[in-house]
Amino acid sequence: METLHAIGKDIPKKESWNKVTGAARYNTDFNEPGVLHAWLVTSLYGHALIKSIDKTLTLKFPGVLAVVTGDSMPRLIGPILEDRPPLAIDRVRYFGEPIAIVVADSLSKAKEAAGKVYVEYEPLPVVDSLKDALEKKYILHEDLPLYRRIKPDEIFPQPGTNIANQIKIRKGDMDRGWAESDVIIESTITLPQSLHAAMEPRNARAEIKPDGKVIINTSSQGPFDVKKELSYYFNLEESKITVNVPLVGGGFGGKTTPQLEILALLASQSVNGRPVKLIESREQDFTTSPGHLGLEAYIKLGANRDGMLKAIEITCQVDTGAYTDSGTKMTRAMAADCTGPYNIENVHCDAFCIYTNHTYVTAFRSFGRLSHTFAIERAMDKLAFSLGIDSLELRIKNAVNPGHFTPTNVKLNSSNLGNLPECLKRLKQMINWDEGIRIELANGKVRAKGLSGLWKTSSSPPNATGAAIITFNRDGTVNLNVGAVEIGMGIKTALAQILAEKLQMDINKINVVMEVNTETSPRHWKTVASMTGYMVGNAVLDAAEDVIKQLCKTASVVLRCPPEVLQVGGEKVFLKADPTIFVEQRAIACGYKYPDGSSTGGEVIGRGNFIMHHLLPMDPDTGRGKLGPAWAVGAQAVEVELDTKDYTYKILKAATVLDAGKVLNPKNAKGVTMGGMCMGLGYGCREASLFDSGGVRMNPQFRTYHLMRYGENPEYLVDFIETPQLDSPYGMRGIGEHGIIGMPAALANALSAAAQVNLDFTPLTPEAIWKAKRGVSL
């Protein structure tokens, strides 16, 4: 039999034609007569006491059925630390914080009536910066020590401060490290909060059936998490909750932890369980729902004369905003990978998760590494400059390699790490590094290059799972049902490819269930962390093995031979030794019917699962532990052309080389990587959540919060190397997030070289570079 290959092929997304015809349905595309609409009343202040909420006028408004306020759910919630009221109670801590939900029989009435809820505020001092927070301008959570810690092994709040968490890494001997260092540099960076800005605003619909069953329809990356948390917060049996997720219009981490699902359910509760839709406006999506963390980091980095890194001291201060949500977990994740992809034996890292009156934060593509990498990679460039060593050579020299230990003392090998030096070498060719990093052109223009290394592992719970169910149609075609959500990365197609390769089938004959329904889809932790291909992919392989075993068993009866001599492929089960002797898959997948009419075999149903193994929580004193099964490493570069007269610049080229383990779908992998790069460049050059001194968001629209637009993107150079991860499907590594990680750092390094000034911040606007050149602090 000829081998069929689905792995390594440019297979268009299964849902492609639905997406180009408008037929693809997202959560707000389902029209439904009789559904009620909710609109949020949100805080106009960054920090204030709520003196009173007057809903009289609203309740009198025609079409209004209910106004829900914080007293309907007087408890705190949070995935790691319970510090956030679903609806504000007595106090708001960020601009946009939900205060009330107005439920009406039409969206326009809900919205108009929401404008009539009168909230009386008493403004409080605003903690507008990490500095304010650390100086205790105001303690934002007086009850911090009383808050329930959901994950006690990873959250260590400091009562009487604004510090929600501190993670420590202590590795090696710092005194020895500094003693061995001939050159020591210090570097401080500042990065603002920003936004996920998925094109589909966040939304949810809730309904409680007369039998008590709760139905949630939501745009979420974690349907099973929604089910788990609602069950816990509302004290419901999990069997009483069904969460449905259709195609999701972009997530980037912003749709991982439940928020609107809870509010929609409160709204439905207030109207006897009638279905209620809650759709955020763009402005609410940008201010009410969580964003991306801000970071200030201090690094002291030492190396010997030869450029070998000897010691690093890192302090990270994460701006988690008003509540922690995933902020504490990202703080931990950046501490765990705190050296960047470089081998340093002596490490001292303190990572703090700090409350401010900014928007609270949640997971964001790269889970903190984007920000932390900026700190490391700026420091690496400064060190290279001080040592007089080529910055790419410095990175190759110090790259993590098999045999090294991570900051949390995980021993690395080529399977769990990949090959960073090879990525750097490939990158060097790709961007013609040897022509020089700074070239002066005519007209006062300068062309310059900057680069960044990167690595990232995942931070799942140690018992996170993936699962898959395979069923057959009577024609022998296959249905694959998984709990992974299609958020745009092509995961459903990738899983179909994994299955097609394993069953040796035409991928067009594999149907993937696009939607996730927690009642019928097998559980998956959540679609995050670039881990779905690994976790659910392994489950798919497991399910395929199960299918093969069942097919061979039935076929062995039909073909009168032991199952061991049979093989599945080309929609047949055949004798390995003589493929001309076979039975069609379709003849046995739903039971085999003998010529005389009697039957045997029955339905083939494949089931497969996967659970994380050998993960260990981090030790609170040293950080020893293991957060994820493997890393993916890579190297990135940016080439800019800076006009030294006015500091405007063009991003000419952006390059990425990732160790992908095995590229399942090259065109898709390149696309996802370029998308990450574009997002990273956007963060580097222009994106920032801007707050005034009262904590009021000044740019809550696309009109004022600028994303990269068509044609502003550079020329992309993307390549992959393939060092297999041995326990992953076909050796693949998760790389969905990685394109973003080093981009802001590479951009800052390129512009610092071009402008000949240290640029240790984003966004790198022309004005900001101009100010840095003039020595004006921002």
DSSP state of 191: E
Distance in Å, CB of 473 to another protein, minimum: 25
Which residue has tokens 């025609």?
A: 62
Q: Which is nearer to another protein, 18 or 622 (CB)?
A: 18
DSSP state of 172: S
Q: Which is nearer to another protein, 294 or 625 (CB)?
A: 294
Q: Which is nearer to another protein, 131 or 650 (CB)?
A: 650
Contact 399, 617 (CB under 8 A): no
Distance in Å, CB of 777 to another protein, minimum: 12
Q: Which is nearer to another protein, 417 or 674 (CB)?
A: 674
Instruction: List the alpha helices (DSSP H) in 102-146.
Output: 107-114, 130-134
Q: Which is nearer to another protein, 17 or 232 (CB)?
A: 17
Using alpha carbons, select from 768, 656, 649, 661 the residue that is nearest to residue 717. Answer: 656
Dihedral, 124, 103, 280, 203 alpha carbons, nearest 10 = 120
Distance in Å, CB of 753 to another protein, minimum: 17
Tokens of 744: 């802001």
Q: Which is nearer to another protein, 383 or 454 (CB)?
A: 454
Distance in Å, CB of 757 to another protein, minimum: 16
Distance in Å, CB of 567 to another protein, minimum: 33
Distance in Å, CB of 709 to another protein, minimum: 5
Distance in Å, CB of 758 to another protein, minimum: 19
Using alpha carbons, select from 428, 221, 189 the residue that is nearest to residue 319. Answer: 189
Q: Which is nearer to another protein, 375 or 679 (CB)?
A: 679
Contact 376, 299 (CB under 8 A): yes
Q: Which residues touch 444 (CB under 8 Å, ≥6 apart)?
A: 643, 644, 645
Helices 491-503 and 532-559: crossing angle in degrees, nearest 10, is: 30
Amino acid at 174: M
Q: Which is nearer to another protein, 607 or 706 (CB)?
A: 706
Contact 624, 408 (CB under 8 A): yes
Distance in Å, CB of 692 to another protein, minimum: 8
Q: Which is nearer to another protein, 476 or 676 (CB)?
A: 676
CA distance 743 to 717: 13
Distance in Å, CB of 200 to another protein, minimum: 5
Element (H, E) at 102: strand 98-104
Distance in Å, CB of 248 to another protein, minimum: 7
Distance in Å, CB of 714 to another protein, minimum: 9
CA distance 558 to 587: 10
Task: Render 533-552 in DSSP notation, one character per residue.
Answer: HHHHHHHHHHHHHHHHHHHH
Tokens of 210: 């007369």
Q: Which is nearer to another protein, 199 or 577 (CB)?
A: 199
Amino acid at 680: G
Contact 613, 674 (CB under 8 A): no
Using alpha carbons, select from 468, 516, 535, 627 the residue that is nearest to residue 251. Answer: 516
* Residue 110 CA, distance from chain mean position: 33
Dihedral, 681, 682, 685, 688 alpha carbons, nearest 10 = -140
Q: Which is nearer to another protein, 88 or 751 (CB)?
A: 751
N-terminal to C-terminal alpha carbon distance within the chain: 67
Q: Which is nearer to another protein, 661 or 680 (CB)?
A: 680
Helices 420-430 and 391-398: crossing angle in degrees, nearest 10, is: 160
> Does residue 665 sit in helix, strand or coil?
coil
Distance in Å, CB of 329 to another protein, minimum: 23
